[in-house]
Structure 1
C-alpha cells in the first residue's frame, strides 16, 4: 500500500484511484444545471498509482484539478467528439487544469503516482456524476482512439 493512502486516510474511488473529501462548504447554492441545492464548493485529495486510471466520467459542474506531488498527471477531456489532453505537474507543465461542467474526463499518472486536488463548484454530489453510457460515444472512442479503451 502506498504511504499516502494511510497518511491522508484515502479510500477507493468508484472511477479508480483513491480519494478523501477534505472540504464541503456549509453554504448551499442552487445548481444552475438542475436547480437543486448543493454545497458552494467541495474539495478532495485524489491519488492515482502506476497502472491505475480514472475512468471517463463527467460531473455536471466545473472542476479544478491542482497537482500536489508525484509524477505529472495526464488529464483527458472529451466533449462533442473533441479530445484534449493536458499534463499537470512537473517542471514543464501547468500545475492546474479546468474541466468545464458536463465534459467527460479521464486521467492517469505518468510515473509511480500522482497526488492531486479536485475542487468542484457548485459542490460535488454523486447524483451529478456519471460514466459514459452512450453506446455511440463508447464505440467512437473504441474506433477513433483505441489507446483510450482502458478509460472506459
Structure 2
C-alpha cells in the first residue's frame, strides 16, 4: 500500500528541523531533567536519563553509519517506511523495516538499536520521505556520537561492503 505523501518542507518549517550531521533533518524535543550515571562509565559523568528527537529522511538522504553508547528506540510517525540496518558486535547484519505496521507489509512501529552497534537508515524507496522519532536512554550526547569511517568499517565487515559504502558519509 502506498503511504500518504508528506510535505517535507511543511514538516521542516512546522517542527523547526535542522540538518543532522549523519543526514536528514532533526530537532531535539525532550531532554530529561533527571540525571543518571552509567555503571560501566569509568568517568562517573552524569547525563540526562533520556532524550528524544524528531528525525526526517527525504530527498534521497540517508542516516550514515554511526554508533552511540546508549540504546536508541526508533518510532514511526508518518510517510514511507525506512530500513534500519544494524551491524552487531559479532558482525551480523540485521535490517528492520520501520513503518506503519497496519499498512506496510513487514514493518514495525518501533525498532531498537542496541548501544555500541553500527547502524544506518534509509527510506525504503529512493523518492520516499519519512518522519520518525528516536528516543535514547541514557540520553544522547554528541560527545558519544561516532560517525563511521567507511573504509575502516568496510575492512572490519567486508561481507557488508556494498551496503556500508552506499550508506557511508561520503556517499551523500
Name the TM-score, length of structure 2 as normaliser: 0.81
The structure where strand makes up a greater share of residues is 1
State the distance in 1 between where 2:60 and 2:31 align: 30
Partner of 1:63: 72
Moved runs in structure 1, 4+ residues, more than 3 A?
133-136, 140-145
Structure 2 distance, partners of 1:147, 1:28, is 37
Structure 2 Cα separation of the partners of residues 147 and 39 of structure 1: 33
Instruction: Give 1:8-27 correspondences, 5 Å limit.
Output: 8-27=15-34
Give the counterpart of 1:103 among 100, 105, 117. 117
Distance 1:117 1:33, change over 3 A: farther
Local SS of the residue matching 1:74: strand
Any unmatched runs of 5+ in structure 1?
Answer: none
Q: What count of residue pairs does the alignment treat as equivalent?
A: 152
7-16 vs 91-100, which moves further: 91-100
Question: In structure 2, do the counterparts of structure 1 residues 120 and 148 end up closer, same or farther at CA, with 3 Å as the change threshold?
Answer: same
Following TM superposition, by how much is the alpha carbon of 1:139 offset from its aligned partner in structure 2, in angstroms? 2.5
Change (3 A) 1:11 1:33: farther
Shift in Å at residue 134 of structure 1? 7.9
| Counterpart for residue 147 of structure 2 | 131
User: What is the deviation of 1:3?
Assistant: 1.6
Gapped runs of 5+ residues in structure 2?
A: 1-7
- Report the Cα distance in structure 1 between the residues aligned to 2:158 and 2:85, rounded to whole angstroms: 15
Output the aligned Cα RMSD.
1.8
- The whole-number CA distance in structure 1 between the counterparts of 2:40 and 2:13 is 36
Secondary structure of the 2:39 match is: coil
Q: Which has the larger radius of gyration?
A: 2
